[in-house]
């Protein structure tokens, strides 16, 4: 029964609030000591993906995926990469389409259920033939993509993926979109929509015949944005169709490699549907850990290594079974 009964995370006394755990790392955390080497790879549809590598000449590697409108240089990404490196893993920080600092070539960009690009990255890394183990780590939207991907693969994942960790995962995309629209979460919604509007304006300048920025004035929520842009640009009927088909919840029962989902109980973005207790009870490969605190991509911890609890927990999970024959 891989439902973790008691999490080891204990937040600092003055940082138990989910909102503080979410906001403070985003605004103030700095992570030094990560030097990336960028590699650009081509996608099957004629686009590109930018991968930022941090190598320690290991025989195992982890692909790390960021959240909505994030990128490889965000503190939570560099913190995870640094922790992986310290513990004997090469790391490749995957920038989703249009998130690496240069707009991608196609009209489309990325979405919360786009596992095809992750598969492209996985295949590319495995081509190196040097890695005996390949792990996946994802945050928020990236975590949903990771969990959905290993679920889609089912038993086929065993040949490719050793283990996976997904942190602050909106398993129920519709529920999360609706929760972020609540007045108490307005600060987050405004920030996300500002970044998404800017992306559409840049896209519209590159593809004026296919995309119009004019409807942006009507965008007041994720529903509006996904209905007007995400869904039609990526082949979905509407926002609800996109959310229902892209959330990882419906794929969790198929996961066949050890996969850990870490969702804090006080995450301001998550609804009850984002805590898949029953699938974790029934699937011996799905581990669900629900710390009382942690916020969204928070899990602040103070120590000499400068590592957050989520980074230590991820490495611990990935290293479990390390005595097995590789």
More confident residue, 321 or 100: 100
Q: What residues does 260 pair with on adjacent strands?
A: 165, 287
Is residue 72 domain-shared with residue 214, that is, in the same domain?
no
Is residue 145 domain-shared with residue 48, that is, in the same domain?
yes
Summarize pLDDT for 28-86 with one digit per residue, the tens: 999 999 999 999 999 999 999 999 999 999 999 999 999 999 999 999 999 999 999 99
For position 325, what pLDDT does the model report?
42
In a domain, 72, yes or no: yes
* Number of structural domains the chain divides into: 2
Query: Has 226 been annotated as catalytic?
Result: no
Catalytic residue among 140, 168, 293, 310: 140
The distance from CA 178 to its chain's CA centroid, rounded to whole angstroms, is 19
The helix (H) or strand (E) run that includes residue 42 is strand 37-42
Residue found by looking up tokens 């400068």 in the block: 306
Is residue 54 domain-shared with residue 195, that is, in the same domain?
no
In a domain, 61, yes or no: yes
Q: What residues does 259 pair with on adjacent strands?
A: 164, 286
**C-alpha distance from residue 43 to each of 115, 118, 220, 320 (Å):** 13, 10, 33, 33
Average predicted confidence (pLDDT) for the chain: 95
Model-level pTM? 0.96
Is residue 88 domain-shared with residue 191, that is, in the same domain?
no
Is residue 122 domain-shared with residue 161, that is, in the same domain?
yes
Is residue 10 domain-shared with residue 74, that is, in the same domain?
yes
Q: 216, 246, 276: which is the final residue of a domain?
A: 246
Q: 213, 246, 279: which is the final residue of a domain?
A: 246
Is residue 62 domain-shared with residue 104, that is, in the same domain?
yes
Q: Which domain holds residue 189?
A: 173-246
Is residue 162 domain-shared with residue 206, that is, in the same domain?
no
Strand 48-54 to 90-95 pairing: antiparallel
Q: Which two tokens stand for residue 100?
A: 């690496």
Summarize pLDDT for 113-156 with one digit per residue, the tens: 999 999 999 999 999 888 999 999 999 999 999 999 999 999 99
Catalytic residue among 66, 111, 124, 296: 296
Q: 224, 246, 268: which is the final residue of a domain?
A: 246
Is residue 22 domain-shared with residue 82, that is, in the same domain?
yes
In a domain, 326, yes or no: no
Is residue 201 domain-shared with residue 56, that is, in the same domain?
no
In a domain, 281, yes or no: yes
In a domain, 278, yes or no: yes
Q: Which two tokens stand for residue 228?
A: 């007007």
In a domain, 93, yes or no: yes
| Long-range residue pairs from 233-237, CB within 8 A, at least 24 positions apart, any chain | 233/107, 233/108, 233/109, 234/108, 234/111, 234/114
Phi, psi torsion values for 108, nearest 5 degrees? -70, 165
Is residue 82 domain-shared with residue 208, that is, in the same domain?
no
Catalytic residue among 54, 112, 267, 310: 267
Q: Are 75 and 30 in contact (CB under 8 A)?
A: yes
Q: Are 36 and 54 in contact (CB under 8 A)?
A: yes
Query: Has 72 been annotated as catalytic?
Result: no
In a domain, 324, yes or no: no
Query: Has 19 been annotated as catalytic?
Result: no
Give the sign of the dihedral formed by CA 139, CA 297, CA 93, CA 234. positive
Q: How confident is the model at residue 323 (pLDDT cuts 50, 70, 90)?
A: very low
Is residue 167 domain-shared with residue 184, that is, in the same domain?
no
Summarize pLDDT for 211-258 with one digit per residue, the tens: 999 999 999 999 999 999 999 999 999 999 999 999 999 999 999 999
The span from the CA of 151 to the CA of 58, in Å, is 27
Q: Is the pLDDT of residue 321 over 90?
A: no
CATH code of the domain containing 261:
3.40.50.1820
In a domain, 325, yes or no: no
């Amino acid at each position: 029964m891989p439902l973790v009964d008691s999490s080891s995370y204990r937040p600092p006394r003055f940082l138990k609030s989910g909102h503080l755990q979410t906001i403070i790392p985003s605004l103030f955390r700095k992570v030094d000591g990560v030097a990336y080497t960028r590699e650009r790879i081509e996608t099957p549809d004629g686009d590109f993906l930018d991968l930022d590598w941090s190598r320690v000449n290991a025989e195992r590697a982890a692909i790390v995926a960021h959240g909505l409108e994030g990128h490889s240089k965000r503190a939570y990404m560099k913190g995870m990469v640094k922790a992986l490196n310290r513990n004997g893993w090469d790391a490749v920080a995957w920038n989703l389409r249009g998130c690496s600092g240069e707009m991608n070539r196609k009209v489309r960009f990325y979405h919360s259920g786009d596992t095809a690009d992750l598969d492209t990255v996985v295949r590319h890394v495995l081509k190196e033939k040097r890695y005996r183990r390949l792990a996946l780590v994802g945050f928020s939207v990236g975590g949903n993509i990771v969990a959905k991907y290993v679920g889609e693969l089912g038993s086929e994942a065993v040949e490719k993926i050793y283990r996976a960790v997904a942190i602050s995962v909106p398993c129920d995309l519709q529920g999360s979109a609706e929760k972020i629209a609540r007045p108490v979460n307005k600060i987050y919604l405004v920030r996300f929509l500002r970044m998404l509007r800017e992306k559409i304006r840049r896209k519209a300048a590159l593809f004026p015949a296919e995309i119009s920025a004019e409807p942006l004035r009507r965008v007041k929520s994720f529903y509006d944005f996904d209905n007007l842009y995400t869904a039609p640009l990526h082949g979905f009927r509407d926002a609800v169709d996109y959310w229902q088909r892209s959330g990882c919840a419906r794929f969790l029962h198929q996961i066949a490699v050890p996969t850990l989902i870490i969702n804090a109980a006080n995450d301001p973005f998550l609804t009850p549907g984002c805590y898949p207790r029953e699938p974790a009870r029934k699937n011996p490969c799905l581990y669900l850990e629900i710390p009382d605190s942690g916020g969204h991509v928070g899990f602040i911890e103070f120590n000499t290594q400068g590592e957050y609890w989520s980074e230590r927990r991820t490495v611990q999970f990935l290293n479990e079974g390390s005595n097995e024959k590789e």
